[in-house]
Amino acid sequence: MNGEQSLKKIIENSKTKDFAGIAVALALILLSAILMGISFSQFNNASIEAQDQQLLKVESSLDYNINETIERFDRQMEYVVSSKSFKQALDSEDGQEPDSELVTEILNNSSLNNMSSFEAIFVTKGDRVFATSSGGEDFTIGENIDGNLFVCSDEAGDEYLAVEQDAAGGMKCYGVLNITALYETVLLRANAESESVILLLDSGNTMVYEKGNVVKTCKTVESDSSKNIDAKEALLLRKSQESGDVIADGYKKELENTDEATRVLAVPAKETENKAFAIAVTANYSTMTVLMKRTITKILFFFLIAVAGIVMLVTFLIKTRRERSQIDLEVERLKEKNQQMEELNEKLRELEHHQRLETIGTMTSGIAHEFNNLLAPIMGYSIMTLEKLDPNDEVLYDGVLEIYNASKKAKDIISRLSDLARKNTEKVFTRIEPDPMINRAISVTAPSLPKNVDLMRDFKCKGRYINGNETQLSQLLINLIINAFHALSDEGGTVTVGTEAKDGEIIITISDDGPGIPENIRESIFEPFFTTKEAGAGTGLGLAIVRQAAEDHGGRVTLDSEMGKGSCFKVYIPEDTTPAED
């Protein structure tokens, strides 16, 4: 029954563990998938951030180059306007108007003409153009962009960037920059060949961009769609300029054979250093996107392989656990059967022992009386004969004395057999204090104490009691003490007799520091008729009587022995804790 219960418990525990293992595995797989999704998202965000950072670097480089070109142009204009020849040409003598032809000649010969983005330069006086380089007469100054920067347009309506400088006599000098040429110069310096760049002139409508290695301009996305400017990029740049915010966005650019993954960064003019142009930088990240998709595909593939491996591993572990449970079950069954066999053997040994004692008791009870009847006349007539014999007749006297002694010894053996069989033994149990009882038993054994043996007492049970038969207990003590004396008779030593109370029991200890008892006979010394003494020196009933007396009192006797260090017998008897009657 216990085996079946154990089987059910093991199977239930195994199933519970299997389900728990499956749940843990699924949870780990789900957690891994979530973490992988988060990682992919973070990777994608990091990729986009890296793209935006790259675009921002390109934009910063373009912005720096535009600002540097404008500032260099401004410095060159300042140099021309502040030159001695230019000032002298603008100075009027006696209130006469300066010579415009001289000023025009100076402007045509100035160093500004060497700049690639230079378009024209002219001087105004009031609302009219006073002097101009070739082509400068067609320009009109528009809205102020920032500081000394203005929008400028020609008769065709094309927009330019103008830089203002104050000249002598309250005149104004304007240098005109061609934004198309400026775009080419800036793009070349920034080395932005892999990126698409659009410039939007602040306070103006003109966008500058590159298409097919040709720099083009347009004013509106709708009207100039035939010029192939990317409408989404242009709209994003206008949106950034109008809102004043930096905008980054991505989209797919549709081409003839494929779609390009495009990322756009638009920066309004007010956020740039040059303050004249809003800048949009666009890059194609199709290659990076394809590489990332391939990487993700590979990771997912390996992840699925890992998941399959985990599933197989969990399945294998579950199968192994179940097989192990079956093996453990078989082992438990074998252990249980083995334990049952051991218990059965132990019961058989106990039964055999009790049968042996019962046989001895039956034999003893059957023949004790007859033996006593036979021994009584032998002992009686031996004494009568000894009284009538002449003591001087030693041969006859000693022979009759030997008959008497042999009869007496036979009577003693019969008496011991009767005690072992619990026949003819007093059965009255009384309340006994152990320490005085042991002292009385020691006094009985005193004549047998060898001269080379010391007897020590260690009593700790004063005022404590046991319920027992003093005759049986005295016989028990005498047998153990005499045995200790015999163990020390040759080499000498110390016998210690003591008592202590522990866990509701009185423990009587008889120990010696003699040679000890060999391990191979320790289990047999309590058997009836077992003795290690020479023939005629012992009956082999002493320790059997000791164990029987201890069991009759609801106790037990134990042996602890070590060769060369001695032996210790302990008798455990329940303590009587009932209050004494008055």
pLDDT band at 424 (very low <50, low <70, confident <90, very high): very low
pLDDT at residue number 291: 65
442: CATH: 3.30.565.10
42, pLDDT greater than 60: yes
For residue 101, the Cα-to-chain-centroid distance in whole angstroms is 92
Q: Which domain holds residue 67?
A: 1-284
In the structure encoding, which two tokens stand for residue 315, read together? Answer: 């399945």
User: Is 469 inside a domain boundary?
Assistant: yes
Count CB atoms within 10 A of the CB of residue 119: 23
Q: Is residue 225 very low, low, confident or very high in pLDDT (cuts 50, 70, 90)? A: very low
Q: How does pLDDT run across 151-201, given as a tens digit for each residue? A: 988 888 888 999 998 887 778 888 888 888 888 887 766 665 556 888 888
Mean pLDDT computed over 522-544:
65
Q: Which amino acid is at 174?
A: Y
Q: Quote the CA–CA distance of 241 and 145 in Å, as a whole number.
A: 13
Instruction: Using the Cα atoms of residue 322, residue 325, residue 329 and residue 331 in order, give the sign of their dihedral.
Output: positive
Sheet arrangement for strand 214-218: 214-218, 207-211, 195-201, 277-284, 259-267, 247-254
**Looking up tokens 């935006």, which residue turns up?**
52
Least confident of 134-143, 409-418, 548-557: 409-418
**362 in a structural domain:** no
Q: Is residue 158 part of a domain?
A: yes
Return the top range by mean pLDDT from 221-230, 360-369, 518-527. Answer: 518-527
Residue 174 inside a domain? The answer is yes
If you write DSSP's letter for every residue of 412-454 in order, what string do you get?
HHHHHHHHHTT-S-----EEE-HHHHHHHHHHHHGGG--TTEE
pLDDT of residue 457: 93
CA of 536: how far to CAs of 371, 384, 478, 540, in Å?
20, 27, 19, 10
Type and span of the H or E element at 314: helix 286-388
User: Residue 217 belongs to what H/E stretch?
Assistant: strand 214-218
Q: Which pLDDT score, from 0 to 100, does residue 130 have?
A: 82
CA 520 to mean position of chain CA atoms:
52
Distance in angstroms (rounded) separating the CA atoms of residues 522 and 511 = 15
CA atoms within 13 A on the CB side of 554: 12
Cβ atoms within 10 A of the Cβ of 193, count?
9
Is 385 part of a structural domain of the chain?
no
Write down which residue in 246, 268, 284 finishes a domain: 284
| pLDDT grade for 5, boundaries at 50, 70 and 90 | low
Residue 272's Cβ-count burial label (10 Å; 0-12, 13-18, 19+) is: buried
503 has pLDDT over 80: yes
CB 449 within 8 A of CB 457: no
| Weakest mean pLDDT among 10-14, 271-275, 392-396, 550-554 | 10-14
Q: How far does CA 452 lie from the centroid of its chain?
A: 68
- Taking the C-alpha atoms of residue 371 and residue 106, their distance in angstroms, rounded to an integer, is 167
What is the C-alpha to C-alpha distance for residues 412 and 372, in angstroms, rounded to an integer?
A: 10
Q: pLDDT band for position 464 (50/70/90)?
A: very high
Assigned domain for 381 exists: no
- Confidence band for 458, pLDDT divided at 50, 70 and 90: very high
The predicted structure's pLDDT at residue 496: 93
User: Over the chain, what is the mean pLDDT?
Assistant: 79
Structure tokens at 574: 């329940």
Contact assessment for residue 63 and residue 267, using Cβ atoms and an 8 Å cutoff: yes
Q: Read off the pLDDT band of 508 (50, 70, 90).
A: very high
Given 252, 284, 316, the domain boundary residue is 284
What percent of the chain has pLDDT above 90?
A: 10
Confidence (pLDDT) at 223: 42
Name 58's bridge partners.
none
Q: Number of C-alpha atoms within 13 angstroms, CB side, residue 239? A: 13
What is the C-alpha to C-alpha distance for residues 564 and 517, in angstroms, rounded to an integer? 9
pLDDT greater at residue 286 or residue 485: 485
Report if residue 347 sits inside a domain: no
Asked whether residue 79 is domain-assigned, the answer is: yes
pLDDT band, very low/low/confident/very high, at 549 (cuts 50, 70, 90) = confident
Cα–Cα distance between 418 and 72 in angstroms, integer?
Answer: 137
- The reported pLDDT for the residue numbered 224 is 47
Cβ–Cβ under 8 Å, residues 459 and 499: yes
Handedness of CA 184, 187, 190, 194 (dihedral sign): negative
Can you give the pLDDT at residue 50?
A: 78
| Residues ≥6 apart with Cβ < 8 Å to 403 | 378, 382
Among 267, 284, 301, the domain-final residue is: 284
**Any alpha helices (H) in 516-566, and if so which ranges?**
542-552
CA torsion sign, 540 to 360 to 428 to 461? positive
135-142 mean pLDDT? 77
pLDDT for 572 equals: 95
What are the residues facing 125 on neighbouring strands? 128
pLDDT tens-digit readout, 87-128: 877 776 656 677 777 777 777 777 777 888 888 888 888 778
Q: Is there a contact between 472 and 504 (Cβ–Cβ < 8 Å)?
A: no
Overall number of domains in the chain: 2
* Closest by CA position to 56, among listed 285, 284, 281: 281
Q: What does the pLDDT average to over 413-425?
A: 57
Q: Which of 199-213, 215-229, 291-305 tops mean pLDDT?
A: 199-213
Please report the pLDDT score of residue 60 as a whole number. Answer: 87
Q: Give me the residues paired with residue 214 across strands.
A: 211
Q: What is the DSSP letter of 391?
A: T
Q: For residues 492-507, b (16+ Cβ closer than 10 Å) or e, as one string? A: ebebbbbbeeeeebbb
166-175, 211-220, 497-506, range with the lowest pLDDT: 211-220
How many angstroms from the chain centroid is the CA of residue 464?
58
Assigned token pair, 193: 């060949």
DSSP state of 227: G
What secondary structure letter does DSSP report for 282?
Answer: E
Residues 6+ apart with CB under 8 A from 561: 516, 517, 522, 567, 568
Mean pLDDT of 550-564: 89
3-state secondary structure of 509: strand
Given pLDDT bands bounded at 50, 70 and 90, which one contains residue 423? very low
Rounded percentage of the chain residues whose pLDDT exceeds 70 = 79
Confidence grade of residue 378 (pLDDT, cut at 50, 70, 90): confident
Confidence of residue 276 (pLDDT cuts 50, 70, 90): confident
